Every structure is written in C-alpha cells, then in structure tokens.
Amino acid sequence: MGNVPEDDSVRGHVFKAQFLNANEQVKLSKTGTSDFYYNYYLGNEESKWKSDVRSFSTIRYHELYNGIDLEVYSKNGFTKYDYIVHAGSSPNQIAVQYNGVKTPTIKDGQLIVSHKLGELIEDKPYAYQVINSKKVTIPCNYILNEDGVLQFDFPEGYNNKLELIIDPKLIFSTYSGSRADNFGETATYDDLGNGYMGGIADGQLYSLTIGAYQTIYGQGDWDIAISKFSPDGSNLLFWRGAKRTKRRNAF
C-alpha cells in the first residue's frame, strides 16, 4: 500500500461457506442472457483473449445433493439463492460449514456469522410448496449441529411428495462487473425501480457503457463512478464516470 495512511487502508475479512458432502459432479445451467457483453483483452497472449462474453441472471447447480438443486439469481437488485428439493428427496442432506469465522449462532431465528469486522446476518429462512396451484408457506428454521454446521428444520413437516423450495431471506449484494477496485458510497432508485450506485473506482477495468462521460481512467487517487442498473439488477444500463478526484471521500 506504500505510504497510504493507516486510517485510509481498506480492511476486509474473507471466509467460506462449504457445502459438506455435496456431489462432486455438479452440472450447471444458465438462463437470462444479458443484453450487454464484456470483452477481455488482458495480457499479450491472444489465445487467452475473450470477446462477446455475456452474463446471466440465473445459474442453477443441478444435483448439488441427491435430488436437490441450488439456484442463484438476481431479483429486485439483490442476489438470491434457493434450494429446490425435488419430490421424494430429503432436505436433511443440506449441510453448510462456515470456515474462517467463529462458530455461527442463531438469534431470533436469524443466523449470525461473527467475524473480525462485525457480523453477517441472514434472516430467518422462508420455505414453501405449491399445493393446488397455490403457494403454501412451510414453517422452516435454521439449526446448528454440535459442530456448528448449518442445516434446516421443518417443525410442522411438509409434503414429501411435492417439490419444496427453501429460500433463505435476502442477502444484499449487487455487482458492477468490475475487475478494478471500487467501493459503493451511496445508492438509490427511481420510480421505475432502476437502481443507481455512486462510488469510487480505481483503474481501467471498471465496466463502461456506450456514451459514458469519461471512458479512460483519470489517474486521480480515485475516480467517481455512477452506474444505473435494471430493476432486477441483471443489466448495467449506463455508467456515468469518471471525473477525476484527489480525495477518497469525494462523496
């Protein structure tokens, strides 16, 4: 970091959520192709260059466990994930171990993952089944076994002959598609549900759109970056950066 003052350094903490005893041969499928694409011309070796690279709004991991899929997707500007438990399969197979943090705890139905910078909180999970064309809520709780491994409990049971969806409540996350360092400083939305993010970017690799105010990194300490996303968070509609700034706290 060179001569960066200590109080201006960026602190972080990395941990992993591991699916215990998951199938090793998991197949992926993708849907919701983006309207935009990326081109990657990194390095001098042309064989490693890629162009017209699309992103997708939904990725499904088929047979993460026997008869259980995991679907990761974007909804209303958030990244979400669902477990799809097919009829006749057992959700008891799902077991998640958090590595690199203290043993998680459960408080008021929420999962609390404590780390050196604070806490990550996942709201009480929501589960449902479609019965006679109607979505029926199935009571569902987090449980932790004696080793601190996360699983799900259904205190009132459910219909094992029908598909069961386990939907852990929203974990806030959005993305710029950037490979440069960038930090969100503010966010809002408009009457149509489009999302706007204002922040700072460092380097040439921040995602751009046609007509951007400035397409070349301004070589400031940080550049201002303003991005607009579609309501579901899957499309970068425009990027309005970056005017040179000499202060990190430009906003």
pLDDT tens digits along 209-218: 444 444 454 5
Q: How far is the C-alpha of 37 from the C-alpha of 197, rounded, in Å? A: 20
The count of C-alpha atoms lying within 13 angstroms of the C-alpha of 147, restricted to the half-sphere facing its C-beta, is 8
Same domain membership, residue 121 and residue 72: yes
Same domain membership, residue 115 and residue 146: yes
Query: Which pair of structure tokens corresponds to residue 124?
Result: 């009480």
Boundary residue ending a domain (111, 132, 167): 167
Task: State yes or no: pLDDT of 193 exceeds 90.
Answer: no
Q: What angle do CA 94, 100, 103 make, to 5 degrees?
A: 60
pLDDT the model gives residue 234: 53
Q: What is the phi/psi pair of residue 4, to 5°?
A: -65, 130
Considering only CA atoms, which of 56, 84, 52, 54 is closest in space to residue 71? 84
> DSSP for 117-148?
TEEEEEPPPEEEEEETTEEEEE--EEEE-TT-
Boundary residue ending a domain (136, 167, 198): 167
Question: Residue 4: how many CB atoms within 10 A of its CB?
Answer: 11
Same domain membership, residue 105 and residue 18: yes
Domain annotation covers residue 176: no
Task: State yes or no: pLDDT of 38 exceeds 50.
Answer: yes
| Confidence label for 129 from pLDDT (cuts 50, 70 and 90) | very high
Number of domains composing the chain = 2
pLDDT the model gives residue 56: 85
The predicted model gives 53-61 an average pLDDT of 89
Domain of 136 in residue numbering reads as 6-167
